[in-house]
A and B are shown apart, each in its own frame.
Chain A
Amino acid sequence: MTPIDAEPRPGKKGLTRRQKRRLSRGAQYAVFVAAVIAFAASADWGRLHNQFAQVDIARQMFPDIITLALRNTVLYTLSGFVFGLVLGMVVALMRLSSVGPYRWLAGVYIEIFRGLPALLIFIFVGVAVPLAFPGTEIIGGTYGKVALALGLVSAAYMAETIRAGIQAVPKGQMEAARSLGFSPARAMVSIIVPQAFRVILPPLTNELVLLFKDSSLVLFLGVTLEERELSKFGRDLASTTANSTPILVAGLCYLLITIPLGLVVRRMEARAQEAVK
C-alpha cells in the first residue's frame, strides 16, 4: 500500500541500511571474539593438558583401543542395528496392517520404547529377562543382549521411519502392481519397500549414528575384559592411570566413525533432493 517514496529516507540522523548491516555484523563478531578470549583466559590450560593430553598414556592405549574396543563398539552397534531394522520393519508393517490388534500392538510398542531411556532398556534386558525366563540364555551372550537391547530401542524409531517411507510411495504404485497380478504382500516386498528405502536411507543412517553412541550403555550389562567397547575401555584406563586422556582418545574414536557417517547422510540427502527435482 505504502508507496516506496513514503518510506523514511536515509536522513542525516538515521543510519542507512548498509551502515546498519555493518554495525550488526561487527557486533556479532565482537561478541564471538570476547567469548573466546574469556573462555581461553579463564581455563587452566596447564591442568587441562596434564589431565587430558598425556601422550604416553594415549600411546599405551594402542592398539587395543582399535582392535578390541572400537571393534566391539562396531560389532555391538551393527548387530543392534540389524536386529532393530528387522524388528522395525515388522512393527511398521503391523502398524499399516488391516488387522486392528496388530496396529494397536505396534502402536503400543512404539510409544513404550520411544518413551523409555535406552539405559532402562539395557537394565531390563540384563536383569528382567533372565529373571522372567529362568534357564534361558540369550543367544550370543553379551553380544546377543546388546543386539536385543539396542534393537528394541531402535526398532521403535525405525518402525516410524519405515512406515512414513512406505506411506510416501504414491498409491498408484500399489495399484499398478495389483493390476499386474501381484498379491498385496508380494507388491509390498518387490515394489513398495524398495522405493520406501530410498527415501528413508538418510534417517536410517542417522539412527545408526545414534546407536553408535548408545552402544556405550553396554557397561550396565557388566562385560568381561574382552567384551569392552570404547567407553568402558576408556573409563577403565582412566581410573587405572588416574588420568582422563583415555576418555579423550575414546571420544575421538567415536568421532572417527560418526563424522564420516554424518557426511554420508548429508550427501545422500543432497542427492535425494536432486532426484526430486
Chain B
Amino acid sequence: MTTPEISIRDLHKSFGDTEVLRGIDLDIGQGEVVCVIGPSGSGKSTLLRCVNLLEEPTRGRVAVGGTELTDPDVDIDAARRRIGMVFQQFNLFPHLSVTENLTLPQRRVLKRDKATAERIAAENLRRVGLSEKADAYPSSLSGGQQQRVAIARALAMGPEVMLFDEPTSALDPELVGDVLAVMRMLAHEGMTMMVVTHEMTFAREVADRVVFMDGGVIVEQGAPEQVIGDPGHERTRHFLSRLLDPATAEVEEGAPDRVGQGER
C-alpha cells in the first residue's frame, strides 16, 4: 500500500465518562472499500464521524488525503469538501428541490457558477438513476430515492473519499437494493469508501476489507471471506450468528444493554 487515503492513529473518543473509541489504528488505501461491522454501541458510527471530524476525537490523529484533520490549524471546511458523507437519516434539505439540494452546496461552498453547478447536478442525478426527480422535493420521494439523492449531493462536490453511515438502516427492505446498487457502482469506479453497515451480503461482495469492531476497538479485520466467512474471534462469530439468524439468539445473562451511537 502506498500513502493511505485515510489514516487513523491511536484514535480515542469519549462522551463524558463513556469511552466509545479506545485506540483505533486503521489505514485505508486509495480506491479501497472498507466495511465496518459490529454490534450497536461498538463505536463504528463514532469512528466514521471522527474521520470527517463531525465528532472531535479526544485523542489521536486522523489524516485524509495527506491532510491531518486533527491539526487545529487545518481549514476543516476545506478538508471536508474532499470527504463526502452519507447519513442514515439522509438529511436532505427539505426546503430545497432535489436539484437545489445538489446545486446550493456547489455554489456556496465551491463557488461554481449556476450553469456548471446545474450541469454537475444533472450528471450525478443520472448516475444514481433519478434524473426524472430533478424538480421534486425530498418529502415526495421514497426513502431509497432520498438516500440516492443524498449520495448524488455528496458526489457533486467531487469528493476523493466517501463515508457511509449505515446508509440502508432507515430504509424499508425492498428499497435497500437500489441504494446498494449505487454504492456498488461507486466501488467499481474506484472510489475510496468507508461503509458502516449491517448488510453482510454487500460487505461480502463489494468490500476489499471488513473491519469488525466491538467495545471501541478493532477486534479483527481482513478479507470479507475471512472475517465474515471464517471469523477468527469468538466475538465476531457471536455477532455474525446473531445478525444472520436473529431468531436463534438466546437471552444472555448480564449482557450490557448498550445504546448504539448509530441509532440516534
Residues of chain A at the chain B interface (Cβ within 8 Å): 170, 172-173, 175-183, 186, 190-191, 194-195, 198, 275
**Closest chain B residue, CB of each to CB of A182:** B109
B80-88, B185-193, B239-247 - interface stretch: B80-88
Interchain residue pairs with CB less than 8 A apart (17): A172-B89, A176-B92, A178-B54, A179-B54, A179-B84, A180-B80, A180-B81, A180-B153, A180-B157, A181-B77, A181-B81, A181-B110, A186-B108, A186-B109, A195-B95, A198-B95, A275-B139
**Chain A residues whose C-beta falls within 8 Å of the C-beta of B95 in the assembled complex:** 194-195, 198
How big is the B interface, by class?
A: 20 to 34
Task: Please tell me if B78 contacts chain A, counting CB pairs below 8 Å.
Answer: yes
Residue pair A172, B77 in contact (C-beta under 8 Å): no
**Closest chain A residue, CB of each to CB of B55:** A175
Bound Cα distance A190, B93 (Å): 10
Task: Identify A181's interface contact among B54, B80, B93, CB under 8 A.
Answer: B80
Task: Identify A183's interface contact among B77, B92, B94, CB under 8 A.
Answer: B77
**Closest chain B residue, CB of each to CB of A172:** B91
**Chain A residues whose C-beta falls within 8 Å of the C-beta of B92 in the assembled complex:** 176
Give me the 6 closest cross-chain CB pairs, A-B, nearest first.
Answer: A176-B91, A181-B81, A179-B85, A172-B91, A180-B105, A181-B109
Contact code string B87-112 (vs A, CB < 8 Å = 1, else 0): 10101111100000000110011100
Bound Cα distance A183, B87 (Å): 19
**Chain B residues whose C-beta falls within 8 Å of the C-beta of A172 in the assembled complex:** 87, 89, 91
Nearest-Cβ distance from residue A217 to partner chain B, whole angstroms: 37
Task: Identify B94's interface contact among A181, A182, A195, CB under 8 A.
Answer: A195
Bound Cα distance A91, B95 (Å): 24
**Chain A residues whose C-beta falls within 8 Å of the C-beta of B139 in the assembled complex:** 275
